[in-house]
């Protein structure tokens, strides 16, 4: 099976680097890059300038791998918090069509808001149509990242998409004001075709 190309909108990667820098601080970010053997200039979003979506995905994956190496088990919580912060930034700077749709999502009946909000997130993170999709599983939801930029070039024994988990949690909390049980059930870094996240709605 041919895997879909790993792509990420360059604007998302730039905002990720900005969020990372503000969350870690200059000295810690520099230490993370040094330990991973990455250029120190990567701490500055303006260093990258215009990027195509394939290169943006590569930088995104390598930075997250560097954080996992530096923090070990603590990386999950740190990357999830960065993902949570990233949601608000991406929404505030969203294209006009998405930004105007966002208030409508929060006025939907509660039972419809979750999927509508995840559809917004999928559109924000997609470099091309259907890079990310949202599906209904009985009462639950499935968020599928077909492009899987976080897993680009990665080979791990467990799922690694912690930033996406943070984005999902914050998006759903924004939509309905509730915490959700979210699990990455498959990850391309472990050899799966896609990165899939199950959102349990509950009873």
Residue 5 lies in a domain: no
CA distances from 116 to 14, 72, 106, 143 (A): 25, 34, 9, 12
Residue 13 reports pLDDT greater than 80 = yes
Residue 122 lies in a domain: yes
Give 182's strand partners: 199
Looking at residue 203, its pLDDT comes to: 56
At 192, is the secondary structure helix, strand, or coil?
A: coil
Q: How many domains does the chain have?
A: 1
Looking at residue 57, its pLDDT comes to: 96
Residue 3 lies in a domain: no
Looking at residue 152, its pLDDT comes to: 95
Tell me the pLDDT tens digit for each residue of 75-113. Answer: 999 999 999 999 999 999 998 989 999 999 999 999 999
Domain range enclosing 141: 10-200
pLDDT band, residue 47 (cuts 50/70/90): confident
Residue 1 lies in a domain: no
pLDDT band, residue 3 (cuts 50/70/90): low
Residue 75 lies in a domain: yes
Residue 171 lies in a domain: yes
Provide the whole-model pTM. Answer: 0.95
Task: State the CATH number of the domain containing residue 187.
Answer: 3.90.1520.10
């Amino acid at each position: 099976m041919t895997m879909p190309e790993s792509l990420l909108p360059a604007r998302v990667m730039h905002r990720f680097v900005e969020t990372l820098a503000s969350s870690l601080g200059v000295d810690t970010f520099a230490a993370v890059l040094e330990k991973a053997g990455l250029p120190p200039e990567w701490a500055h979003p303006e260093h990258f300038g215009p990027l195509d979506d394939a290169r943006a995905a590569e930088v995104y994956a390598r930075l997250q791998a560097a954080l996992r190496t530096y923090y070990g088990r603590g990386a999950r919580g740190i990357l999830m918090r960065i993902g949570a912060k990233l949601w608000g930034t991406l929404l505030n700077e969203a294209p006009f069509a998405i930004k105007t749709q966002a208030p409508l999502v929060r006025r939907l009946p509660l039972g419809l808001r979750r999927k509508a909000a995840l559809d917004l997130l999928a559109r924000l993170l997609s470099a091309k149509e259907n890079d990310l999709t949202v599906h209904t599983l009985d009462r639950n939801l499935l968020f599928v990242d077909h492009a899987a930029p976080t897993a680009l070039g990665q080979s791990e024994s467990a799922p690694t998409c912690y930033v996406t988990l943070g984005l999902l949690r914050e998006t759903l909390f924004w939509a309905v004001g509730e915490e959700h049980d979210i699990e990455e059930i498959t990850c391309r870094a472990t050899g799966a075709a896609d990165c899939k996240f199950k959102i349990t709605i509950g009873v």
